[in-house]
Amino acid sequence: MTPAPDLAGTGGVCARGGPADAMPLGEVLDALVHGWCLAAVVPLALDAAERDPLVSSGRCPGDVVRALMEVPGAFWVRFPALYGRYRTVLRANADARRGLPPEERLKFWVSFADLDHTARAGRTP
């Protein structure tokens, strides 16, 4: 895994108190969705998605890429090199999703709020 660059001058430490590159994938996804520690977690998510375009934290195939889609445009303007990687990952994810059964492809577009709600209720979207 490529170490997360210190793009925000945080020393690679997020508010959770530990180094960002030690975060479990589920925490990376949550940080992306909520806009936390983006300078540290976006590179981690991109690293994972470059290895596997359908990488998942357990919510649905490709949920990490889906969470990257929630990153505000202003972030990508500040970090154009990361935006280039994001665009490549997004294309690879779209190609990979074409090989999934239709019901699996549709799960990608379920909102994170709906996924969290159904997971708590013990159902699948």
The answer to the question of residue 89 being in a domain is: yes
Nearest-angstrom CA–CA distance, 36 and 51: 23
For residue range 92-112, list pLDDT tens digits in order.
999 999 999 998 898 888 887
Nearest to 78 by CA among 9, 2, 3: 9
Number of structural domains the chain divides into: 1
Question: Does residue 9 belong to any structural domain of this protein?
Answer: no
15, part of any domain: no
State the DSSP code for 98: T
- 2 lies in a domain? no
Tokens encoding 112: 């994170």
For residue 71, the enclosing domain spans 20-120
**Per-position pLDDT tens, the chain of length 125:** 444 444 444 444 465 555 555 688 999 999 999 999 999 999 999 999 999 999 999 889 999 999 999 999 999 999 999 999 999 999 999 999 999 999 889 888 888 776 553 443 343 44
* Residue 75 and residue 46 in contact, taking contact as beta carbons nearer than 8 Å: no
Phi-psi region of 62 (alpha: psi -120 to 50; beta: other; left: phi over 0): left
